[in-house]
Structures are given as C-alpha cells and as structure tokens.
Structure 1
Amino acid sequence: MMKSKSLSPYIKYIELDRVRVPSFSRYPFHLPAVRNLDTLALHPQVTFLVGENGSGKSTILEAIAVAYGFNAEGGTKNFNFSSRRTHSDLSDYVKVVKGTRTPRNGFFLRAESFYNFASNLDDLDSEMAFGPSLIDSYGGRSLHEQSHGESFFAVFLNRFSGDGVYILDEPEAALSPSRQMSMLSRMHELVEEGAQFIIATHSPIIMAYPDALIYQIADDIEQVAYQETDHYQITRAFLNHPQKMLKLLLE
C-alpha cells in the first residue's frame, strides 16, 4: 500500500466516562461491549468494528458519531433533522479525543436511516431560493430517484473527499459484492488524500482493507487480525464447502 499524505488522525481515541454512567444494568450500558468499554484507540486511516447482531457495534459507532458532532440519523454536521429519536444516550458519556489535524469534510452514513436523510436532503434543496443546488454535491440527481445501492454509492463518490472523517454504519446493506469492491477502491483513494474511516460492518469484503485496525465486539472488545474474524472464517468455510455446510444447516 502507498502511504497516505498524513498519518495524524482526526480522532485519536474515544473514552467512556465510566464514573458518570448512571447504571450498568440499563440500556445501552448493560451491553457487554459497552460495560467493558474504557478507552478505544482508532487507526489514523481505517478502523473496523465487527460483531454479531446485537453485540453493540452500531451503538458504539453511533455514540462516536454523535459525540463528534454528527446528526444521529446521518449526514454532515450541518444536518439536524430527526424523524424519531431512537438513538441511545451513550454519546453523552463518550469523550472523543481529537488529533492535531482539523478535517475539511465529514459524513455519518448509516443504512437504517438513509431514507430519512435522502428525504431531508430533498426538502432542503426545494427550500433553497438561490445558489447552487444541494443535490449537485451528491451527483446532481435526487437520491430517491435511484436504487438504494445507487444512492448510497452516489453519496460515497460525490460527497466524500480527502481530509475528512467518515463514519459508516453497515454500508454493505445497500451494496452488491462488486460495489463493495468498488467501495474499497474509493476508500483507498480517499485515504491517500488524508481521510479517516470508522466503519461498523459485517462484510468480509469491506473489512479486508489492508493494514486496518479491526475490533471484534462480543462480550468484550478485542483487536483481531482479518483472518481471525468470525465473519471471515464463517464465509470462507461456507464458500469452500457449500454442500457440507448446507447439509449441516438444513438437516
């Protein structure tokens, strides 16, 4: 891999203010991963949070994004819409420790509320009386006029730029395997231009990005190598022996 133009992170690490936590017996603090969270160092380029459904990876990712200043439902720091308050209050107890660099750009992209973000973007664009259209920054076409995968990728291609912080929650939910590989290529371009990514994912394709820091979240948060992740091992076992795996699953 080529080296990016800077290895200084925008976000160095996050820290849970455990003294202020009201109770470790209620949501989201009762989740094992949160209950055991203290300090979590972040890679200056790419950090992955991986784990089973319900492990708490998206909850932790959301807390990082909100504590950093992003809207809980996604977008840039300029978006403040809310369709329904469903995010946890973990962000109130998470401290984001920043590096010496100041990003020029940033985005919180999450699959579950992307529709709400696209709707708010259309609303804001229709209210603008003069100046360039907001949609122009996203490819010049309403995100609602594209498939879910196309609109997701349009944001990734057009709205993201170098020298930015990008927090992505399960981006593979909208992307085919080939588009996930295209995403890796685009990520690398942005990393070369000084971007920092923090990504929660189930995709063994996306988490294959070289030299990334991978945290596997279960009862605790453990740093692992790519080949040690459950996602890689399960996918490899299935693809190498599909008939054997299907027989075990379907008996």
Structure 2
Amino acid sequence: MYIKQLLFTGEVRDEFPFGFPFLKELETVTFDCPVSFITGENGSGKSTILETIADLLGLNMEGGSKNNRFVTHQTHAALGEECRLIRYPSYPKDAYFYRAESYYNLVSELDELQVSDELFERKLHTFSRGESLKELIKYRFFGKGIYLLDEPETGLSVASQLELIVLIDELVKQESQLIICTHSPILLLYPQAKLFELNQGHIREVEKEEAQIFKDWEMIMHRKDSFIRQLLREEE
C-alpha cells in the first residue's frame, strides 16, 4: 500500500474544480485495500480525483509515467495545488496513469519514442484499442507500484474486461495498489476491493450491491425491452 488519503486543504468555492461538494469529505476517504474503485455519474468528479492524485505523484496528465512529458492540450484541473497525499511508509517502485480520453495521445508518444518496439515488439497503434491496453498492463506495469486507471473498460469487450480483472489480480500479487474510476459493473466484481461512490455531491463507501451502477444494470437487464419501450415513449 502506498497512498492512504487524498486531502483537500483549500476551501470549496464556485469555480471549477473547487466547487465539488465532496471535497469537504476527502479526509474521510481512506485507501486501505490494494484495489479501490470510484464510481459515479458523468461529471460527478471521479476523473478529477484520479487526475489530482496523478498530478501529486508527478505523472503526466495525459497518461503515462513520470518520464512522459508530452502535452497535446492543457485541460487538467489545478486541484493538486490545494491538495496533498497522505502516504503509507512503503515507497512504490513504479507508477503509471491510464486515462481513457487521452490514451490515443499516449500510444502515439510511446510509438514515436520507440518505447513500443522495445516493450511490445511492435507499435501499439498496430493493436486494437483493447489489445493495446492489455499489452500495456502486461508488459509496462512492472509491479510494486501505484497504478491509476481512468475508465479502463473503454473499448473492452466483456471477455476483455474479465481478462483485465485477471491482470489486476496479478498486479496485486506483485504488491501493487490500484485506484480505478469505472462505469463497469464487471470490474466491480473483483473480490475484496473497496468501492467509493460519488452521488449527490457526496463520496461514500458502499457495497457493490448498493452502488447505483449495479442497481441500474440490474433493472435494465431485468426489464429489457419493456424498459427501452417506456424510455422511448417518454422521449417523444
């Protein structure tokens, strides 16, 4: 375990990203499991939390390690200026930030620097998106590290998400810590993980069965066609 808490040391105010109400509750959020998931609606602040941790670790904001320094478009939130990390005594030997929305830019950087040829024996752009992510985790995540994954399920089939669970478990066995933002109920099935949910301006620990994402999928899959017909009628 490497990261224990993310603390917000400023004041909640109107401008982005300092207006998220959950910032007042960060001191009660403790990462005390090797795998922690963060779920919540779009715009709830999940990615902002992960981005802030990456910033405080000195990782590249568009993804990668401390060695990646490319900037395609400066969009990241400056929340790190008013936050700090509380750490466990152990120091990670590796750290990496995967960010779904800028993953193409990271792959381009790795290919251009010929890192892909060394690690994967071919350009990452020659893989599909899902295949390239699995290659990245298999051969670049070295273990004994802290790994931040922002919506890693993007572009992954169900089978690939199950394979990702296996890769996550292998990293845990290699004394790694992972903090993962996700909309995938499949990834949440990973055992003995801690789940935090951002909902109505609050961040709280929940059991996976209590999470809104589980309730929504259960309702949709149970009602199937009748739910969609009702939805479309409501849209008319």
Q: TM-score, normalised by structure 1?
A: 0.88
Following TM superposition, by how much is the alpha carbon of 1:46 offset from its aligned partner in structure 2, in angstroms? Answer: 0.5
Match of 1:4 in 2: none
Of 107, 121, 138, which aligns to 2:96? Answer: 107
Question: Separation in 2 of the partners of 1:229 and 1:98?
Answer: 27
What SS does the corresponding residue of 1:112 show, helix, strand or coil? helix
Question: Separation in 1 of the partners of 2:214 and 2:24?
Answer: 26
Of 133, 136, 156, which aligns to 1:152? Answer: 133
* Percent identity between the two aligned chains: 38
Question: Separation in 1 of the partners of 2:87 and 2:34?
Answer: 14
Following TM superposition, by how much is the alpha carbon of 1:248 offset from its aligned partner in structure 2, in angstroms? Answer: 2.0
1:27-56 alpha-carbon deviations (Å, 9 max, x no partner): 011123335544421133001110000001
Runs of 4+ in 1 over 6 A off after TM superposition: none
1:179-232 alpha-carbon deviations (Å, 9 max, x no partner): 000000111111011110000000000122111111100211011000011111
Gap runs ≥5 in structure 1: 1-8, 126-133
What SS does the corresponding residue of 1:172 show, helix, strand or coil? coil
For 1:19-168, list aligned pairs within 5 A.
21=11, 24-34=13-23, 36-125=25-114, 134-136=115-117, 138-168=119-149
Gap runs ≥5 in structure 2: none
1:233 maps onto 2:215 in alignment = yes
Compared CA separation, residues 238 and 137, structure 1 to 2 (3 A): farther
Question: Separation in 1 of the partners of 2:9 and 2:194?
Answer: 23
Match of 1:247 in 2: 229
Match of 1:11 in 2: 3
Q: TM-score, normalised by structure 2?
A: 0.93
Match of 1:184 in 2: 165
Native 8 Å contact 1:207 1:226 kept in 2: yes
Question: Separation in 2 of the partners of 1:63 and 1:52?
Answer: 18
What SS does the corresponding residue of 2:113 show, helix, strand or coil? helix
- What's the RMSD between the two structures over aligned residues? 1.5
1:47-74 alpha-carbon deviations (Å, 9 max, x no partner): 1110000001111111011111111111
Question: Separation in 1 of the partners of 2:42 and 2:118?
Answer: 33
What SS does the corresponding residue of 1:50 show, helix, strand or coil? strand
Following TM superposition, by how much is the alpha carbon of 1:241 offset from its aligned partner in structure 2, in angstroms? Answer: 2.0
**1:82 partner letter:** V
Question: Separation in 2 of the partners of 1:137 and 1:187?
Answer: 23
Question: Separation in 1 of the partners of 2:216 and 2:164?
Answer: 22
Following TM superposition, by how much is the alpha carbon of 1:137 offset from its aligned partner in structure 2, in angstroms? Answer: 5.2
